[in-house]
Chain A
């Protein structure tokens, strides 16, 4: 009787043919589920293999694994260990990149806490006074922005990532133009919170684009509910009236 191994080459050939024949069905299911992994370069291949491996090995348990790693990061955060905290943040987001909380809080730790750890709490004012301090603050702010940029792959359609970028550009880097662009991106993404519109309006005013700010606030005002405190409709209304007065536009 022939050995079982003798059919393996034929089996492999038939498997390739079957795979080729079913590739259109595979693509159809993938498109219907929206599962394209977005591989566009060799670099993407490495990160997607990592993600795929995590899903394969942990399945639905990856969320608890990532959550526990995030919790354990607090130990390094309390000790003001920059490398340790960065490592745990990177590990949590690589195991489970779905929670927005990891990305937002990771960026905030990078931009706000780490510069203080580097210069020391007692020298925190140096971050705004001395050139060296400002350079450290800028360095970590840019790292936070790069970190948020990584999140786009997993958080596309989430306006909060753009809002966080906008706040870093505005408050940490004094880059009002980039901050305004980020807030615009948040609004264009859809589902942006009410305050994003108000802040975008303020940024436009700071850039000297008062007419554009007025148009934005007016169109936003029309959409605001009357009885929802968070919408701050009266505040938006007051801002519109103030802008009209500055621009000499009748009510």
Chain B
């Protein structure tokens, strides 16, 4: 791209300006506020439902609610907000106004991705805070009710584990946002991008079964289908690290590092393809 005869350099600051505008726009969306409220109410309802818990300790039950909110609501928010903000700009022609200025399309795509990713990361952060608060309140209440049963200084909840889980979800959401960004760069409607995002979310959650099935079945056609599914999509199941984290199971640092590398590589790949796709798109 040339401006006044000089080649325009790719600029991170322009990308960050787009990202910050996207973030401001996203947090003002009614959807974001509604989802946040809904997730917090769902978490609060775990206190009401604890009488109906049969399978695990009360604190784990509350933790499950919080983890459920992060995965379910976080994923839904990532898909909808990404599709709406990116495709919305294209549908309303505001993208043309922006791209008429000296802005690379890759800066636009990356800026949009970063803005949405930070928005959903903030959502997960808020939910994490609420979950930690809820668990701390209940743990304190249990200590007051049963002082002899619990040793002094013994913690019933592993709060660090909750933070690790939240971090894993941020990595997962990054991949999901990058995928929906890719779909949005060639989709003609936001519904298509959202539906594709939901399908990939579900199929990505089943990817590990397809990978193992590809090694077991003998039928060549099925083997090929399972193998393609296994290799073509990221494995979202890797980020389901939550089963026992709140109750003290350790998550090694090396594992967090591996999840980070996995998340970054897939996100960078999908963003690169999204950029290439958007460069070819007629607005």
CB closest chain-A residue, reference B42? A61
Q: Mark A12-54, 1 if CB is under 8 A from B, else 0.
A: 1011101110110110111011011111111011001100110
Contact of A12 among B68, B208, B232 (CB under 8 A): B232
A3 to B278, CA, bound (A): 9
Tell me if B27 counts as interface (CB < 8 A to partner A): no
Interface of A is mostly: helix
A24 shortest CB reach to chain B, Å: 11
B55 and A22 form a contact (CB under 8 A):
no
Given contacts A56-B206, A59-B67, A71-B52, contact A45 B280 (CB under 8 A): no
| B21 at interface by CB-CB < 8 Å | no
In the complex, B258 has a CB within 8 A of chain A: yes
Chain A residues with Cβ below 8 Å from B49 are: 64, 67
Contact (A55, B273) CB under 8 Å given A16-B232, A25-B258, A36-B212: no
Q: Interface segment, A95-103, A174-182, A186-194? A: A95-103
Residue contact A26 to B262, C-beta cutoff 8 Å:
yes
| Cα separation A60 to B233 with both chains bound (whole Å) | 23
Contact of B252 among A2, A32, A58, A64 (CB under 8 A): A32
CA distance A189 to B80 in the complex (A): 47
B208 to chain A, nearest CB (A): 6
**Docked-complex contact B255 and A7, CB < 8 angstroms:** no
A residues near B236, Cβ cutoff 8 Å: 56
Closest B residue to A15 by beta carbon equals B232
Within 8 A of A (CB), among B47-70: 49, 52-56, 61, 63-70
Q: Are A4 and B186 in contact (CB under 8 A)?
A: yes
| Option from B54, B205, B213, B255 in Cβ contact (under 8 Å) with A102 | B54
Residues B231 and A59 in contact, CB atoms below 8 Å apart: no
- A129 proximal to B (CB < 8 A): no
Which residues, 64 to 109 on B, are CB-close (under 8 Å) to A? 64-72
Q: Which of B114-135 contact A (CB under 8 A)?
A: none
A60 touches B65 (CB 8 A): yes
Chain B residue with minimal CB distance to A63? B64
Q: Are B212 and A37 in contact (CB under 8 A)?
A: yes
A-B CB contacts (within 8 Å), total count: 176
Residue of B nearest to A42 (CB): B217
Q: Which of B11-19, B148-156, B237-245 contacts A (4 or more CB under 8 A)?
A: B237-245
Is A35 a contact partner of B262 (Cβ separation < 8 A)? no
Contacts of B30 in A (CB 8 A): none
Contact partner, A5, options B186, B231, B235, Cβ 8 Å: B186
A22 pairs with B265, CB closer than 8 A: yes
- C-alpha gap A14/B265 in the complex (Å): 12
List A contacts of B53 (CB < 8 A).
63-64, 67
Whether A30 pairs with B208 at a CB distance below 8 angstroms is yes
For window 258-283 of B, CB contacts with A under 8 Å fall at 258-259, 261-262, 265-266, 269, 273, 276-278, 280-282
Contact across chains for B66 and A60 when beta carbons are under 8 A apart: yes
List, sorted by A's number, 12 A–B pairs whose CB atoms are closer than 8 Å.
A1-B282, A19-B230, A22-B262, A22-B266, A26-B238, A41-B216, A52-B209, A56-B201, A58-B68, A60-B66, A63-B56, A100-B55
Additional pairs, 8, CB under 8 Å, beyond known A1-B280, A20-B231, A36-B212: A4-B278, A19-B234, A22-B262, A26-B262, A48-B209, A60-B72, A64-B46, A102-B54
Residues of A with Cβ closer than 8 Å to B? 1-8, 11-12, 14-16, 18-20, 22-23, 25-26, 28-30, 32-33, 35-42, 44-45, 48-49, 52-53, 55-64, 66-68, 70-71, 96, 98-102
